[in-house]
Amino acid sequence: MRPLRNSVTLGRRNNAQMDTSYEAVTLEAVGWPVLWGPGQPEATVLASGLEVVLIHPAREPTAWGLVRFVGPESVRYGSPNLEIVDAHPLGDRAKPGELYVVHGSPWRLAVETMNATHPAYDAAYWSRVRHYFAFLWDYTFECLASDVDGELLEMEFRDAIACAISSVSVCR
């Protein structure tokens, strides 16, 4: 294995030595940009290389939260659900439906470490990438992104989906 180009910046770790434990991480509740409606926290996720969009029910029956994760590097959406949430390394520290930033994330470090081998690697850029995390009802959502913002859409779901598709589309 060839040495990492920026090994000093990353604490001289390589993939074989990387700590994948979540014991030392801290969670910061950051809140959703648009408040969720009542009931089970469910979402629809759309992704491209430019943006990850999460659509969720808002307070009114015809209102939707459109949450954008800006500058995504990676996204995970799937297991575990709330019935087996204890199997997740953060299962005992996160409340369902809340959005968190995971400080000291092994996943973020692993993705950054891989990217550090690229000649155009930019440590200043990676210092702005955060690990966003939420337990929803049937799925867990995680995203490495530079920022998050959102807006309230007062329209039918089909129109909210069309808006989200145009947001993530590379053919604008």
The predicted-structure confidence for 126-151, as pLDDT tens digits, reads as follows: 999 999 999 887 889 999 999 999 99
110 occurs within a structural domain: yes
4 occurs within a structural domain: no
Q: Which domain holds residue 113?
A: 26-168
Q: Encoding tokens for residue 2?
A: 């060839």
Higher-confidence residue of 153 and 22: namely 153
How many angstroms separate the Cα of 55 from the Cα of each of 34, 35, 67, 144? 10, 11, 6, 17
139 occurs within a structural domain: yes
104 occurs within a structural domain: yes
Give the tens place of pLDDT for each residue, 11-25.
Answer: 433 434 444 678 778
Strand ranges across the sheet with 100-103: 26-29, 100-103, 130-135, 140-145, 74-78
Mean pLDDT taken over the chain: 84
pLDDT value at 4 more than 90: no
15 occurs within a structural domain: no
Contact assessment for residue 55 and residue 44, using Cβ atoms and an 8 Å cutoff: yes
φ, ψ at 111 (rounded to 5°): -70, -40
Q: Residue 1: its pLDDT value, please?
A: 43
* Burial class, 98, CB count within 10 angstroms (exposed 0-12 / middle 13-18 / buried 19+): middle
21 occurs within a structural domain: no
Considering its fold, how many domains does the chain have in total?
A: 1
pTM of the complete model? 0.83
56 occurs within a structural domain: yes
Give the tens place of pLDDT for each residue, 78-132.
Answer: 988 888 888 888 888 888 888 999 999 999 999 999 999 999 999 999 999 999 9
